[in-house]
Structure 1
Amino acid sequence: MELAKEQTQTSVKDRLTMGKFLAWKGRDISAASMQVIMTGYLLLFCTNTLMLSPVVVGSILMISKIINAITNLFAGFLVDNTNTRWGKARPYEISIVGVWICTVLLFSASPSWSEPIKIGFVFVMYFFIFSVFNSLLAASQTPYVIRAFPSRMQVIKVSSYGGIISMLGAMVVSVTFPIAMGKLATSPDGWRTLILIYAIPLCLIGVLRMIFVKEDSSIDADRVGEKIHLKEIIQMFKKNKYIWVYALIIGLFNVIQGMNVSAQYFKYVVGDISLQSIMGMLSLIMLPIMFVFPKLMKKLSVSNLIEFSAILAAVGYLINYFAGSNIPLLIVGSILSGLVMLPLSYLGSVIIMNLATNNEMHNLPRMEGSTGVTIGFVGAVFNGIGSGLIGVLLSFSGYISSETAIQPDSALLMIRSIFALIPMACMVGILFFAWRLSKLETQIPQMEKEIQARKLVE
């Protein structure tokens, strides 16, 4: 009887209501859509519409992202030390509004401005989007999720099933944006109109989480008012080696994100940027995988999922390199190379929880916020390196900054290499570090038992 009662209580605790789930995913859809636009089309807008050279744009993005890495640390410290009647992380969700306001302003820059003004404006807007608003959103993500969903299984469900919703939202933007871009983004005013069409509804969707999803004040109730000190964060860096292992995985993944030349690839190698919308539709093929994640998590760790997907992604990037303008081959390569995004993008909260448990095992506060932004710190630095490299490499290859230019063969070869070979090398590194991280995940059950026993003694 007692066992049946306990199982029933566990089942109720693990149940995820649809309304809360959909409200929660609103901000993820909004943020993911912004990332699609910024990583996929900002470089093209700056070079082809604002007429800035690739190396200048790459330098702007690199410097901004390195600054972003530093502000991530401050954001994590701020979130960890926040205690309001709304909760620890929930108040910072308003930052999604700032993200979209600055995105609209960024794509409203005029090519008629002088070059220093264009450079300064792009830098400032990019700084506010990522170094201020997105830093606060990233820092609050994990503390919010574990206080909004009371069980580990709910966190896994909202991360995996939620990935389906996020992917669908991002897919809508990925599919429709290139098509709308081909029709509207033929002038500076057209770019502004295009961004507004997406920004207004996505901003409204983005605030649903803050409005409807409350934090559970009973979680860490014994620590309300307790402050996280800088020395504890420094100790975390020294004692929790797995933070750096996971950070390097995210770092290499961010190099790929920072070196996104998909728009250039489809414009100049394939010859039709509107065909890029086909790649966006491939997310539909990956959706069934997200449905089985909770079941896979009972047999495999997140690290194992990353390992397997990294191997397949490396094969996919190799196919992409030889595909050229062959759409069927690009579809196969893109499906395989996109698999690694699933565990890295949608199951990160589970790994952060494990890293926080390791912090607690070392007699430190859990520090989910600071743990998360440490990962974000390294990710932002690597993303900045990728953004800087893409500008240097394109300029070195003879890339011409013009909407009507015919690119030389050297530039086309460089675009193909950035599109496929560099990401393939990064996948090999991700595979190695995921293998290292898997050692932590095997230790988590024992760690949790020891921590619970320690609390009972105290």
Structure 2
Amino acid sequence: MAMMQRRLEIKNNVASNASKLSLKRVLAFASTDTAGNLLYCTLTSYIMYFYTDVFGISIAATGMILLIARIVDALDAPIWGVIIDHTRTKWGQSRPYWLWLSIPFGASVFIAFLVPDLSTSAKTIYALVTYILAGIIYTGISASMSSALPNLTYDSDERVRLNSWRSNGGMIGYLITASFALPLVDFFGKGNDKLGFSITVGIFAVAAVLLLLFAFSGTREISNTQKAKSISIRESFRAVKGNWPWITLVLVFIFYWLGNTARASTVIYYSEYNLGNKNLASILNGLVVVQMVSITVLPYLVKRFIKSHTQIIGLSLAALGQIIIGFAGSNITMIIIGWTVASLGTGIAVTLPFAMLSDTVDYGEWKNGVRASGFLTAVGISFCIKLGAGLGSFIPSLILGAAGYVANAEQTSQSLAAIKFCFTWLPAIFFAVGAIIMFKYIKYEKNESKIRQELEAR
């Protein structure tokens, strides 16, 4: 008996060592989010400012473009999830999309920041089509990132390691665009923001394509997806039925992205018009790097607190930081402190749901007998990002439009107040609502061990 147990331990140790992924494969997977954030964060952070102050369309037209794009996003995330669940290739199920979509992704974001010589109405149509196209392709990239994780390794510890590296890889992509996009626009444009944006985004696009190609070549899917049974569209939707942990997490993630995008898309307005220092936006965006601190300590926080409590802490810190900024006035030091506190909170709030979604996939299988990981992760991640990021820009555009905002002009006291509200109090409200909703998840988390045991028994 002892000999058999010893052999089993040796076998498990060998399997564990075999499952240890090389640094190249870890970096390759991390580069997917670096590429995604490099372009998509450029799109979400600067597109509203680009449309109003560079491209030359009204704030009302910009708001309408963002609204229509969100309606489209309500459809494309589930579709991408179903497509991935039905993909069967020699390269795997999710990984091929990093090859197939790399060039279309880079090209679509690049053309979204071009300024063709068109009439005002034609410009609006051009902006609408290119923005929607870039968003649809990014959804495919984002959905394939999330659905690939279970197929890269069977080892749960390695999955945590991969997700942590991916999150930090995404932070690097965001840091590059947040810190260097505007300085590069000024450097290349030399006063011509149209030229500056096109060259800067073109450089980012080339880098993103190369990173995605590296991700494709440097990773391997271990699941035999060519022989796996396909899940029907009806079964995919059935995985959502009664899956309240998933529904709760989706709502929380949407409110996170509403708050994060509202502050990211208006920081340039607040810096330029309220504080009279446009370059402060790059400094504040660069400080988002402190998210890497909270991402790094996240595993320790989850051990100290349960996941739902940790997520509530993250969203509460984000709201607190925005409140500090709201009371800071023109005190740059207090603004930086508030921004740093909020960034520590958003680092937790943006990372944890990626790991928690796998638990909701287990819940869907336990309750409905359907394991639709591609569909649930595509909707749970990509849909939330797209809907929250889109509305997070659309809502401020409505508020600024109603307050009489005029691009490249001296703002009225009313429009300045609207800019401050959108940058400070609106994100705080969204973060706080997300934290409140998260309390509902606690009772589901307490049953996770029982659910896993029953699934194993089945």
Normalised to the residue count of structure 2, the TM-score between the two structures is 0.91
Displacement of 1:330 in angstroms is: 1.4
Match of 2:421 in 1: 417
SS in 2 for 1:271: coil
Q: More displaced, 292-301 or 115-124?
A: 292-301
Does the Cα contact within 8 Å between 1:142 and 1:352 map onto a contact in 2?
no
Separation (CA, whole Å) in 1 of partners of 2:310 and 2:18: 26
Structure 1: distance between partners of 2:447 and 2:9: 29
Q: Structure 1 pair 284/380, CA: closer, same or farther in 2 (3 Å)?
A: closer
**Aligned pair in 2 of structure 1 residues 333, 70: CA closer, same or farther (>3 Å)?**
same
Q: Secondary structure, in 3 states, of the residue corresponding to 1:86?
A: coil
Q: How far did residue 193 of structure 1 move?
A: 1.6
Task: Please tell me whether residue 446 in structure 1 is matched to residue 450 in structure 2.
Answer: yes
* Residue 17 (structure 1) aligned with residue 22 (structure 2): yes
Tell me the equivalent position of 1:35.
Answer: 40
Confirm or deny that 1:277 pairs with 2:279: no
The amino acid across from 2:456 in the alignment is Q
Relative to structure 1, the CA distance from residue 293 to residue 341 in structure 2 (aligned partners, 3 Å threshold; closer, same or farther) is same
One-letter identity of the residue aligned with 2:426: I
TM-score, structure 1 length as denominator?
Answer: 0.91
Shift of 1:238: 1.9
Partner of 1:254: 257
- Distance in 2 (CA, whole Å) between partners of 1:45 and 1:296 is 39
- In 2: Cα distance, 1:342 partner to 1:438 partner: 20
Name 1:118's counterpart in structure 2. Answer: 123
Q: Which amino acid aligns with 1:336?
A: V
Q: Which residue of 2 aligns with 1:189?
A: 195
Provide, for residues 161-207 of structure 1, a one-character-per-residue CA deviation record: whole Å limited to 9, x for no partner. 43223213321222112222233343222321222232222321232
Most deviating of 230-239 and 330-339 = 230-239
Whole-angstrom distance in 2 between the partners of 1:6 and 1:425: 52
Residue matched to 2:108 = 102
Greater than 4 Å deviation, 4+ residue runs: none
2:317 matched to 1:312? yes
The reply on whether 1:88 has 2:93 as its aligned counterpart is yes
Match of 2:171 among 167, 172, 189: 167
Change (3 A) 1:16 1:340: farther
Q: Name the CA distance, whole Å, in 1 between partners of 2:250 and 2:186.
A: 37
Secondary structure at 1:370 match in 2: helix
Which residue matches 1:408? Answer: 412
Matching of residues 265-344 of structure 1 within 5 Å: 265-344=270-349
Task: Give the counterpart of 2:234 among 227, 231, 253.
Answer: 231
Cα deviation, 1:272-295, whole Å, max 9, x if unaligned, reads 222222223324434333322233
Q: Does 1:136 align with 2:157?
A: no
Aligned with 1:216: secondary structure? coil
> Does residue 52 of structure 1 match 2:57?
yes
Shift of 1:108: 1.0
Are residues 249 and 145 of structure 1, via their aligned partners in 2, closer, same or farther at CA, if it must alter by over 3 Å? same
In the TM superposition, what whole-angstrom CA distance separates every residue of 1:398-426 from its partner, at most 9, and x where no partner exists? 10023xx1111111111110111111111
Contact 2:78 2:378 (C-alpha < 8 Å) held by counterparts: yes
Q: Sort the Cα spacing of 1:7 and 1:291 in 2 relative to 1 into closer, same or farther, 3 A.
A: farther
How big is each residue's C-alpha offset from its partner over 1:40-68, in whole Å with a ceiling of 9 and x where there is no partner? Answer: 21111111112211111011011112201
Deviation, structure 1 residue 442: 2.5
Distance between the aligned counterparts of 2:424 and 2:102, measured in 1? 32
Q: Which residue of 2 aligns with 1:152?
A: 156
Aligned CA distance change for structure 1 residues 289 and 161 (closer, same or farther; 3 Å): farther
Distance change >3 Å, CA 191–CA 289, structure 1 → 2: closer
Superposition deviation, residue 93 in structure 1:
1.4
Larger mean Cα displacement after TM superposition, 7-16 or 348-357 = 7-16
Q: CA RMSD in A?
A: 2.2
Pairing partner for 1:389 from 389, 395, 398: 395
Q: What is the deviation of 1:6?
A: 6.5
- CA spacing shift, 1:406–1:442, aligned 2, 3 Å: same
Q: Residue 168 of structure 2: SS of its match in structure 1?
A: helix
Say whether the 8 Å CA contact 2:256–2:315 is kept in structure 1.
no
Check if 1:207 corresponds to 2:210. no
Cα deviation, 1:201-226, whole Å, max 9, x if unaligned, reads 232123211111010125xx6x9342
Alpha-carbon shift at residue 13 of structure 1 (Å): 5.7
In 1, distance between residues paired with 2:58 and 2:195?
A: 21
Corresponding residue for residue 71 of structure 1: 76
